[in-house]
Each structure stands twice: as structure tokens, then as C-alpha cells.
Structure 1
């Protein structure tokens, strides 16, 4: 009986010791990182507020005023927007920009897709990728001056080459060829960068899918249409949105080639805003045009993302 009692007492002591040890091993509460997160986000938020939110708010305010840099802004309500609706030069600038955007995006995207597919299926040379990126690294002002010389009607190498091949010459200053020339010059400058973005997206596609398609007898063109393009849709949507916004911002090539006096066939919307603001000092009206451009770009971006279902991927 005494032995049984001693065993029970020892068991109870052991359980008590195990309980105390378990209590000492109880995990600590995890630190709540949400308290320090605002400290890391604050620099970005401050930069966003200073360089994006504040200028946007001031732009909206200036668009409702009569402001010429020489006097204080005076509130005029929606008068600038009413004038904009009846401004033939504004609508011509918008039409010219739209023409440029269509040529630039179509040519740039088609060529970039072809280059990206060739790199993905044939070679993955780092030297080739670096070479494609070189035109994108050249400043747009330099690109404009370079191609203005190449397409010069008298001394341009490109025009001499076209004439030797039996084609007519191309001139920056022809109303027919002016905007296509500017669009194709910028296509040359940005296609390599766009191709690398698409190539990076193609690298995310599992190689097993191509091997399965090859076993089923699919050729390269069919694999591109049935495998690559559908799975590349989110990246393609991103590229198209970035290209659209960048194309609407065309300014430097036009300003350099035409030396500040573009013919109506090349007066793009950004140059029109620049002229209204810094040539004619119509800051209020220029701000109104800029706000309309922001709305147009927002709507076009929303439509693109919805049509391309950019938030969904077939790889998921």
C-alpha cells in the first residue's frame, strides 16, 4: 500500500514538472508587423502625394481657371471645356495622335511578338537580347535627329537606298508620310524593349506544353497560336496598356524633327498642350486639354484590360 502511494505521489510530481516545462515552452506571441508597415510605406506615399496627387489636383483647379502665367488664376468654371469641344485644332490633334497610336502599336506589337517567339524557340543569346535593347537606350531626341538625317530628301541614306531599290523616297515633311514616318521611327526605337517583355512572359510558359503539342503533330505556327498567345495574354495586356499610354505621350520626336512648328499632320496632342501652355500662355486651357486626355487614357486602359481579361491567366 505504501509502495502504491509512493508511486502515485511520484507520478503526480512528474506530471506537475511536465506541466511547468510545457508552460515554459509555450510559444511567444508573434510580433504584429502592421505597426511598422506604415513606416516603410510612408516614403512611397509621400512621393506619390507630392509628385502625382498634388499636381493632379492643381491641374484640375487650373483647368477651371483663366491662367496665363502673367496674372493670378481667375475661376471661369467649365468655360475651358466648352471651348475645347468647339476647338478644331484640338480634335485634329486628337485624330493625329490616334493615327500615330494605331500605326505604332500595331507595328510594334506584331514585330515584337515575332522577335520574342524567335528568341524563345530558336535562341536565348544574351548578346542578341542586349543588341535588341540598344535602340531603346538611345534618347528620343537623338533618335529624332538621327532619322531626320537618314530620311533627308537630298542627303539621307535611307532615301537613297529606297531610290536604288526602285521605291519612292520618304520625307518627314510630307503630309502623307509625316506621321507614319514618326510612328515607324518610334517603332524602331521601342520594339526591342517590347520584345524582351514578351520574351520574359514566354519563359513562364511550361516547356511540357510545347513538348506535348509537338508529340501531337503541331507545328511552330500552330503552337504559337494555340499555346503561346493564349498563355501570354496577361503579359500582352500589360504591354499593350503601357504601349498605349506611351504612344499618347509622343512629343520629343515631333518637337525635334519639326523644330517647334509641326505641320497639322503631326501636331500631336502632347505638342498641342505644350503650345497652348508655353507658346500662347493659355495654362488654364492647356490644363483642361490635359484632364480630357487623362480621362481618355483611363477609359481606353479600362476597356483594354477588360477585353483582354488581364487579371486571369490560363496557367493558374
Structure 2
């Protein structure tokens, strides 16, 4: 009996499964989460900034006086502003203050920031520079009102000890506004210096090392390296300082209240007087709208001239 053994042929290998082509990964859309986080800020902006601005724009074309129902008067308030010598005088006083304050503050802040950047990076020094900025403006005004007092002030006692005569810093028509500018320079220079110092830290250190190897001194490196590369930060500081200088109010209200003879009546104090002393709320709103327009134009011009959106570090 013969037994036949049939050998089974091996099964052919299965063809490889083709993997689907790898397409671009779908990026996670975080915009909805971002809007959720932005909602509280947008709500606060709408409630405390947008709504008051729209309401102020409406009051500026009415005769509202806090005591009556607003009635539409068109452009009458703006026409009265154009012929109001006190309004134009307050703008001139404010412009003079802005020049004094920004000039002194920016120069001192640049010098302090450069010294910290090139010589020392002490945390204690930075904290000390920030202390005057942390003090409320009303407190700063009262402090310097006592220090500059013509009879009891420490500054005049110091001048007398040096053989000089007493000075009526805040009582003089020519010296009151420069004195207020110096007060705010003292209060804000440290904060401005820290902003500039933070910008200087972004400048690559090898640029200074290469310039030093080429024999460049500190002054030349400051002019050729630091200032050009600091332009975006410097533009931001100048814009913020400009807006803040135009908004000077509390120091003037505490120290001089616009006197002597209107020498320190800046535009904010003028608007305050019209609104809450004479109850010309509509007229004050028109002056505020003009101020917003002036600040918008000046900010735009400043940003364009300084090319704030472009940095020499790019590219």
C-alpha cells in the first residue's frame, strides 16, 4: 500500500499595506480660548474707556452743565474753544511743560540706563530707582510742596546755608512750571530708566566686544550701537511720556492749583475747572475731545518719525 504525501505549497506573502500619505497636521485652534481670556479685559475697556468716550463725545455737542438736561448745540462748544484765549494759553503751558519734562526725564533716564548696562546690574540699585515711581502723585506733590516752601522748606534752608537767597520755586510765575517739571522728573526718571535698561539688555553683547576690539570708546559705542538698536523701545518710552505729560493734573492741583496767574494752568486742570468749578460739562467735554485729537496726531507723527515698528536687530 503506497501512501502519497502531498506537500502544501507555502502561502504567498501578503502585500504591504500602503500607509495613507502624511498630510499637514491640523493645527489646534486656540482662538476661542484666547477670546475667553480676553473677554474680561474687553468688558473693562468697553465699560471704563469706550462708553465714557462715546458719552463725552455726545456731551461735547450739548450744553450739559450737570444741572440740566443736555440739549444739542452742534459745534458751538468747539467754536467757543477756538476763540477762548484761556484754552489756547493752557495748551501753550502744557506744551512748555511737555518739553521740559520729556527733555529732562529722557536724558537722565538714558544716562542712568547706560550706566547700569555698562557698569553695574545691581538689583538693589534698580529697586531704589523704582521707589519714587511707586509713591502716589499726590504724596509726591505734597512732599515737594513742603521741601520747596519759601520759608520752611529744606531746599531753601540749604540755599541759605550756602549763602544764597530764598527762592519761591512754586510761587514764581517763571519758576513754578519748571519746578513742577523737575518734581515729575524726579518721580518718573527711575521707571523710564528701567524701561530703557530692559531694551539695552536685548542688544547682543558681541557687538560691544567687537567695537571695543576696534578701539571704540564708550561714548562712540553708545552713539553707534546703543541708540540705533534701542530705537523701538525709545519710541515707546517717548510716546508714553508724551501722553503722560499731557495728562499732568494731580501734581499741579496739589502744589499750585494753576497759579500763580495761570502760569501752571495746564490743559487737564483747565478742563477740570470748566467741568467741576464752572459746571460747563459740555464745554469741558469739547476741550477733552480736542485733546484726544491732538494726542492722536502727535503719537502718530512720533511713531512715524522714530520708525517704531522697525528694529535694526532684525534681519
> Residues 234-260 of structure 1: CA distance to partner in whole angstroms, max 9, x if unpaired?
000000000000001110111111257
Retained in 2: the 8 A contact 1:254–1:262? no
Whole-Å Cα distance in 2 between the matches of residues 307 and 26 of structure 1? 46
Secondary structure of 1:218's match?
Answer: coil
Whole-Å Cα distance in 1 between the matches of residues 74 and 227 of structure 2? 48
Q: TM-score, normalised by structure 2?
A: 0.92
Whole-Å Cα distance in 1 between the matches of residues 229 and 207 of structure 2? 11
Retained in 1: the 8 A contact 2:145–2:255? yes
What is residue 3 of structure 2 aligned with on the other side? none
What is residue 291 of structure 2 aligned with on the other side? 293
Within the alignment, does 1:147 sit opposite 2:153 as a pair?
no
Task: Give structure 2 stretches of 5+ with no counterpart.
Answer: 1-6
Whole-Å Cα distance in 2 between the matches of residues 191 and 170 of structure 1? 24
Aligned residue among 126, 129, 133 for 2:126: 129
1:18-57 aligned at under 5 Å gives the runs: 18-19=17-18, 22=19, 29-57=26-54
Whole-Å Cα distance in 2 between the matches of residues 190 and 30 of structure 1? 45
| Distance change >3 Å, CA 221–CA 152, structure 1 → 2 | same
Q: Over the residues paired in the alignment, what is the CA RMSD in angstroms?
A: 2.2
Q: TM-score, normalised by structure 1?
A: 0.91
| Distance change >3 Å, CA 217–CA 159, structure 1 → 2 | same
Q: Which has the higher helix share?
A: 1
Q: CA deviation at 1:35?
A: 4.1
Q: CA deviation at 1:166?
A: 4.7
> Residues 187-208 of structure 1: CA distance to partner in whole angstroms, max 9, x if unpaired?
0000000000000000000000
What is residue 172 of structure 1 aligned with on the other side? 170
Secondary structure of 2:263's match?
Answer: helix
> Residues 145-165 of structure 1: CA distance to partner in whole angstroms, max 9, x if unpaired?
111111111111112223333
Q: CA deviation at 1:47?
A: 1.8
How many equivalent residue pairs?
A: 307
Whole-Å Cα distance in 2 between the matches of residues 287 and 109 of structure 1? 31
Aligned residue among 98, 102, 106 for 1:101: 98
| Distance change >3 Å, CA 297–CA 29, structure 1 → 2 | closer
Retained in 2: the 8 A contact 1:255–1:262? no
What is residue 279 of structure 1 aligned with on the other side? 277
> Residues 206-238 of structure 1: CA distance to partner in whole angstroms, max 9, x if unpaired?
000000000000001111111100100000000
